Amino acid sequence: MKTRTRLIGGTAGALALAAAGAVLADIGDDDELIINGEIEIVTGAPAPDFVEGLSTIYSGWVFRSPETQAMEQDDFENPAMIYVDQAREMFDTPMGSEGQSCSSCHEGGPEEFEMVRATYPQWDEEHGEVQTVEMQVNECLTERMGAEPLDWNGQDMRNMTALISAVGRGQIVDVAIDGPAQSTWEQGEELYYTRFGQLELSCASCHEQNYGNLIRADHLSQGQINGFPTYRLKDANIVSIHNRFRGCIRDTRAETFAIGSPEFIALELYVASRGNGLSVEGPAVRN
Amino acid sequence: MTATRRQVLNTGLAAAAVFLGLPRLASAQDVDAAIAEFTGGAEAAEEGVTLIAPEIAENGNTVPIEIDAPGAEAIMVLAAGNPNPDVATFNFGPAAGSQMASTRIRLAGEQDVVAIGRFPDGSFKSARAHVRVTIGGCGG
Amino acid sequence: MAENVTPRVRAPREAAPGDVVSIRTLISHPMESGQRRDGDGNIIPRSIINRFTCDFNGENVIDVTLEPAISTNPYFQFDAVVNESGTFQFTWYDDDGSVYEETADIAVA
């Protein structure tokens, strides 16, 4: 295990370091995530240079119990795959006025999207904006298929993003943060370090400065989103990235931004980029 | 008969619970009754059944368990601290390759899980596992 | 009425006579416990899969009675012994009267 030299200074930082080290040490170096015995997942990697508060980035998987970890190691054990199967059916179902299905254009099937999850959100030249996977799916539906857009947080959209993630598992997250996306990325970074709510917590308060520590009886992760959408045992369903953001901000006792809002799109780009170097893992299984 | 302060309080709390319709947790009597119904009152030796459950479950919604009782006809699983202790009963047929099964169960908090095997000679055997259920940090 | 109920089964396609084979099943189902309330405070009625059976060539492998304490998307793993080629028949019984079925063939030689 690599030591964490750049973790925050001071006594609190030292304590956090010790606690995080202890927890991660418990998990052990022999813990490898290989899905279906064939997809090797990078669950720890050097942090991107711009993340000054971390030296190593970890998938949320390493913070989970052996039972939860095991559920992700085999697609039959992973309940999220139910929703991936539903999305595969939807992929071949004509929707909208043009009588087309996703597979009408994408003849290679969902596997054509192998690189999508690893590189989104990304700049869309035509629309002049940073787009998430949800926005790209709705662009196809409304602009090419003559269909109604899907609700960002609805089951159908979560299923479709789970499918797009599933076919990209094992790809290394590589989200572009420069060029035309840079200003959105900077807005996301600003949000990440802004303290919200009555508890005055930023994303970094928990997920950069205290990952590995206990929050109540639960181990805080680094808040990486490479495993999203993720199946949460608590919800017994798959959860979208923005829904998780909304939950976190609500837990700080703040008014949250809306799912699909410009703020959350910017935050998603920034948080995704903090995982540059980990594998796409979604749909993962978390508590 | 004079009621003690505690009796009055208990009666009041019970009435309030009924009034509010709060989920009632299984009492020891409920668990004993469920066991008695399965065993017909016979004693269950604490051997011959293996029950594997996590010591600490990350979420009570989905707790993986495995039961194994070589030679059993049937295995009943109970969650002693749930509103209703019944979980499942596994009956093994002639084409069963073992008397083992795995599933995922719901636990309403820290409690004992109990597995009782019924054997062809009319005997019963049992196993018990204590599971702590993590209180999640974040609702999300 | 539960929506999108889809059974999934994983069983080996080949085995030798007398082999014990491991079978896994999963069915998408909310397993509404009857203990929860909706936004208006009304009890959401119980709606669960209450029985699951697996037979091989008409002979029973396992017959499970499920209660509301079985998790959403019920999962089972168990063993069957196979002495000849044939078909596993899986059946899930829903509170609402629906019956969901799935089969899996195995070649034994």
Residues of A with catalytic function = 248
**Domain presence at residue B11:** no
Give the pLDDT score at A192. Answer: 98
In chain B, which ranges are continuous DSSP H helix?
Answer: 5-20, 28-39
Tell me how many domains chain B contains. Answer: 1
Contact B140 A248 (CB under 8 A): yes
Residue appearing with tokens 């930082």: A13
Nearest to B138 among A67, A79, A251 (CB): A251
- Per DSSP, C39 falls in state T
Please report, for the domain that includes residue C28, its CATH number. 2.60.40.10
**Domain presence at residue C17:** yes
CB contact C8 to A (< 8 Å): yes
Please report, for the domain that includes residue B56, its CATH number. 2.60.40.2470
CA gap A76, A263 in Å, rounded: 36
Three-state secondary-structure class, residue B63:
strand
CA gap B86, B78 in Å, rounded: 5
Residues 52-71 of C with CB under 8 A from A: 71
| Mean pLDDT across A263-271 | 98
Tell me how many domains chain C contains. Answer: 1
**Domain presence at residue B63:** yes
Chains interfacing with A (3 or more CB pairs < 8 Å): B, C
**Domain presence at residue B50:** yes
Residue appearing with tokens 């899930």: C92
Contacts of B105 in chain A (CB under 8 A): none
**Domain presence at residue C1:** no
Residue type, A136: Q
Q: What are the DSSP E strand ranges found in chain B?
A: 44-45, 50-52, 56-57, 63-68, 74-79, 86-92, 96-105, 111-118, 124-133
C-alpha closest to that of B67 among B105, B22, B30: B105
Contact A215 B58 (CB under 8 A): no
User: What domain range includes position C77?
Assistant: 6-35+45-108
Task: Give the end-to-end CA distance of chain B in Å, rounded to a whole number.
Answer: 52
Interval B45-65: pLDDT, tens: 999 999 999 999 999 999 999
pLDDT band, residue B6 (cuts 50/70/90): low
**Domain presence at residue B100:** yes
Contact A79 C6 (CB under 8 A): no
Interval B83-94: pLDDT, tens: 999 999 999 999
**Domain presence at residue B77:** yes
**Domain presence at residue B9:** no
**Domain presence at residue B140:** no
CB contact B56 to A (< 8 Å): yes
Three-state secondary-structure class, residue A71:
helix
Three-state secondary-structure class, residue C64:
strand
Prediction pTM value? 0.87
Contact C8 A85 (CB under 8 A): yes
The encoded tokens of residue A280 equal: 């796409």
Q: Is C25 left (phi over 0), alpha (psi -120 to 50) or beta?
A: beta
Asked if B58 and A67 count as a contact pair (C-beta separation under 8 A), the reply is yes
State how beta strands C19-27 and C75-82 pair: antiparallel
Contacts of C91 in chain B (CB under 8 A): none
Asked if A159 and C6 count as a contact pair (C-beta separation under 8 A), the reply is no
User: What domain range includes position B84?
Assistant: 24-133
Residue type, A170: G
**Domain presence at residue B49:** yes
CB contact B21 to C (< 8 Å): yes
Using the predicted structure, report yes or no on whether residue A137 has a pLDDT greater than 50. Answer: yes
Interval C3-58: pLDDT, tens: 788 899 999 999 999 999 999 999 999 999 988 898 899 999 999 999 999 999 99
Nearest to B89 among C20, C59, C65 (CB): C65
Chain C CA closest to residue B103? C76
Give the pLDDT score at B5. Answer: 56
